Amino acid sequence: MTTTSSPDGSGTATRARWPWWARTLAWLGGLAASLALIGLLCLALSLALVYPKIPSIETLSDYRPKMPLRIYTADNVLIGEFGEERRSVLRIQDFPPQMKQALLAAEDDRFYDHPGIDLSGIARAALANLMAGGARQGASTITQQVARNFFLTNERQYTRKVYEILLAFKIESTLSKDQILELYMNQIYLGQRSFGFAQAAQAYFGKNIKDITVAEAAMLAGIPKAPSAYNPVANFRRASARQRYVLDRMRSLGYINDQQHEEALAQKLDIHASVSTYAVHGEYVAEMARQAAYDLWKDDAYVRGINVYTTIDSKDQAAAYAAVRAGVLDYDRRHGYRGPEAFVDLPERITDEFIDDVIEKHPDADDLLTAVVLDASPKRVRVARPGLEPIDIGEAGLKFAAASLSDKAQPNRKLRRGAVVRIMKTANGWEIVQQPEIESAFIAVNPMDGSIKSLVGGFDFWRNKFNHVTQAWRQPGSGFKPFIYSAALERGFSPATVINDAPLVFDAGQTGSQPWEPKNYDGTYEGPMSMRRALTKSKNLVSIRILKTIGTRYAQDFITRFGFDADKHPPYLTMALGAGSVTPWQMAQGYSVFANGGFRTRPFVVAKMTDANGRVLAEAKPLLAGDESNRVLDERNAFLIDSMLRDVVRYGTAASAMKLKRTDLAGKTGTTNDSVDAWFNGYQPTLVGITWIGYDQPKSLGDRETGGGAALPIWINFMGKALAGVPNIDRPVPAGIVSANGEFYYAERQPGEAIGTLSDDEGKDPNAVKSELF
């Protein structure tokens, strides 16, 4: 404060004079107020201009996400999904509390309190960005993330942030908090092609979302921050660190107590790193169903939420998959260990990341797990798997690979440090195994309508997607003989007809190419025998004589009744030995005719297709046994072949099937030249099962490998489970069949005093030799 004279000199006057710093603050305050006013005016103008241009949020009110094509078994077990976005849409009340709490703790704990934006969060992010010199950190609420996921991009720009905030306000003014949270939990991307937490629970843990634990919920809730970085399959350690953060937040917010927190931290998570996350292995069936849906709707099939219901029974499918795996591995064990799959140079410090890289190049094949050998001796091999302590495999688990532990083992077959091997957990502990080179196929069908109950197209779909049931054209071998015998019954033969099992020689003039001297599999000949016994013993020379008598062109035409292609079976005598080409699918159709009493059914795997609301879009219309318009074979013919095929199981090449202790089984083994293909084709009146085993590039299975030894065990394994609890079915003798001397005959072809014998001059017309047969 200072004193001065008055302007007229009449006295003194006083006035306040503020210090410089006070004057400066006053000036800055006025400037700030002016700028704030200008800012508010600019913001108001921006809102007036921008807000009307904000996208309509009607799409949120009428939420219709891209829904994948889903494939189910007949009993509603999911076996496949196809589409860019795999998603399961749930209502908010269907998400378990622990999932919602974990998400709020991880992403937005004030979600139910703020109006769409969290001012404290924005302040924290703004300070962090100011110190970093640019946009480095966001402060997005769940509402803002919904706005971004549906309408905006993920670019870190301030202009985009303004739109995001405005959209958040608009969303909050239109939808309830639960509606917003429901949208978020169904829409957010969570890695592994999974959208929404329900789908992610299935992808990562193989669980329904309602069944997840607190620990699993925390793991899932940690993913949205960075799906690539916190994906527990791709980076388990980073995902675990994020999970711990979420669990700590849940405890601090009071969602869980100290004990629940400790239990969740201690829980060992079983992450599904496999390419298959389904309860039942139905990959080949799912692919067939996918193709059927695509044929109808093209690319729309993957986004419309179409559901395909197959004819597959989940229990039968699981039994078939297990039977094929066991049969192939048993074959593989019989033929010895080939050595490690590869060798790698081990670093001084072996990390999970290193092992992961090895497994990426040599993926696990279901229960055949990839491991790296750390140390090897004849009595113990130590191997490494990611996320686990080293596994010690003792002598019991090394028997199969023992030769590769010998000092005499060749370098490329020796089990040593750095070897990449396969291990499998068995009831007796870990053992070293190997990826089989052999392939196999299995199909089971209901002969009454053609519905397929199980189908396994190969040992491992992810190793080889070629469907051997539908695509593999292979020689059926002796498994084709029943169709030749059926043709013979139509031409006057009976199961009692006697044919000579003796050597035959055809010169080049007769064959049109090279001389041919067919032989029986065991190289022995038994002379004259009944047709029934010949089929039971699978006598090749008898089959050739039968075909030569009835005529190859007649047989070629006859087999089309069963669904076989005539052009795949040239009219030569080699047809009697199954030298043509069939698929397991065709064999299932063919044997169904014998099983159902002479009716042609058509195998099918898709029962119906529905839209996302359950409306039926397409439905199968199967051919039914019992409908006389579908009859292709005299009931008596089917009965006689069935009778003979039952003897094959009781007394012949398939006698090991009697371990199932059933009286209603029938079937025929099949082994081709040099044991290139091995089959068993068999049935019970309600279920036909076809098994094939062989190499993709045809080569011998081994001198002692036959249909009875390689394929039949798979069939027995499956049928033992599929027919458990199913009563034996006695087949009634149809009208027109009579019994004499312990054998069945057509009523109009009853035997005389002696059973006819087919001699060696079978080159005559079948009708001309009829009198010689009986």
Decide the pairing of beta strands 737-740 and 380-384: unpaired
Q: Read off the tokens for 64.
A: 């219709």
When pLDDT is cut at 50, 70 and 90, the band that residue 20 belongs to is: low
- In angstroms, the CA 384 to CA 356 distance is 10
CATH 1.10.3810.10 range(s) for the chain read: 62-68+76-266
Q: Is 629 a catalytic residue?
A: no
pLDDT at 56 over 90: no
pLDDT in tens, 505-559: 988 766 667 888 999 988 899 999 999 999 999 999 999 999 999 999 999 999 9
pLDDT at 769: 36
Per CATH, the homologous superfamily of domain 345-433 is Nucleic acid-binding proteins (2.40.50.140)
The answer to whether the beta carbons of residues 682 and 692 sit under 8 Å apart is: no
pLDDT at 112 over 60: yes
pLDDT at 318: 97
pLDDT at 136 over 60: no
- In angstroms, the CA 110 to CA 188 distance is 19
- In angstroms, the CA 401 to CA 382 distance is 14
- In angstroms, the CA 556 to CA 575 distance is 8
The residues facing 582 across adjacent strands are 474
In SS3 terms, 160-190 reads as HHHHHHHHHHHHHHHCCHHHHHHHHHHHCEC
- In angstroms, the CA 199 to CA 221 distance is 13
User: Which H helix or E strand runs over 323?
Assistant: helix 314-334
How large is the C-alpha radius of gyration of the chain?
38
pLDDT at 700 over 50: yes
When pLDDT is cut at 50, 70 and 90, the band that residue 756 belongs to is: very low
Pick the range with the lowest mean pLDDT from 142-156, 422-436, 440-454, 537-551: 142-156
pLDDT at 133: 54
Mean pLDDT of 631-650: 98
When pLDDT is cut at 50, 70 and 90, the band that residue 573 belongs to is: very high
Mean pLDDT of 396-415: 93
pLDDT at 684: 98
pLDDT in tens, 255-301: 999 999 999 999 988 887 555 568 899 999 999 999 999 999 999 99
Find tokens 């089989």 and name the residue: 436
- In angstroms, the CA 212 to CA 170 distance is 34
Q: Is 107 a catalytic residue?
A: yes
Q: Which of 273, 265, 195, 185 is nearest to 227 (CA)?
A: 195
Q: Residue 628, SS3?
A: helix
- In angstroms, the CA 667 to CA 722 distance is 16
Q: Read off the tokens for 121.
A: 């969060």
**pTM assigned to the model:** 0.80
CATH 2.40.50.140 range(s) for the chain read: 345-433
Find the distance separating the first CA and the last CA of the chain, reported in whole Å. 146
The answer to whether the beta carbons of residues 393 and 430 sit under 8 Å apart is: yes
Pick the range with the lowest mean pLDDT from 61-75, 109-123, 495-509, 744-758: 744-758
When pLDDT is cut at 50, 70 and 90, the band that residue 389 belongs to is: confident
Per CATH, the homologous superfamily of domain 62-68+76-266 is Biosynthetic peptidoglycan transglycosylase-like (1.10.3810.10)
pLDDT at 717 over 90: yes
Mean pLDDT of 387-391: 84
Pick the range with the lowest mean pLDDT from 176-180, 502-506, 580-584, 767-771: 767-771
When pLDDT is cut at 50, 70 and 90, the band that residue 79 belongs to is: very high
pLDDT at 2 over 50: no
Q: Residue 31, SS3?
A: helix
Pick the range with the lowest mean pLDDT from 116-120, 267-271, 591-595: 116-120
Mean pLDDT of 397-417: 93
DSSP state letters, 649-704? HHHSTTGGGGGG--SS-EEEEEE-GGG-EEEEEEEETTEEEEEEEE-SS-----TT
Q: From the candidates 81, 85, 107, 705, which is the catalytic residue?
A: 107
Length in residues, the chain: 774
Mean pLDDT of 392-406: 94
Instruction: Please provide the average confidence, as pLDDT, over all residues in the chain.
Output: 87
Q: From the candidates 88, 140, 454, 478, which is the catalytic residue?
A: 478
When pLDDT is cut at 50, 70 and 90, the band that residue 143 belongs to is: confident
pLDDT in tens, 212-254: 999 999 999 999 988 878 888 878 888 999 999 999 999 999 9
Percentage above 90 pLDDT, the chain: 65
Looking at 358-406, which runs of residues are DSSP E strands? 369-377, 380-384, 391-393
pLDDT at 115: 86
pLDDT at 55: 59
The answer to whether the beta carbons of residues 219 and 239 sit under 8 Å apart is: yes
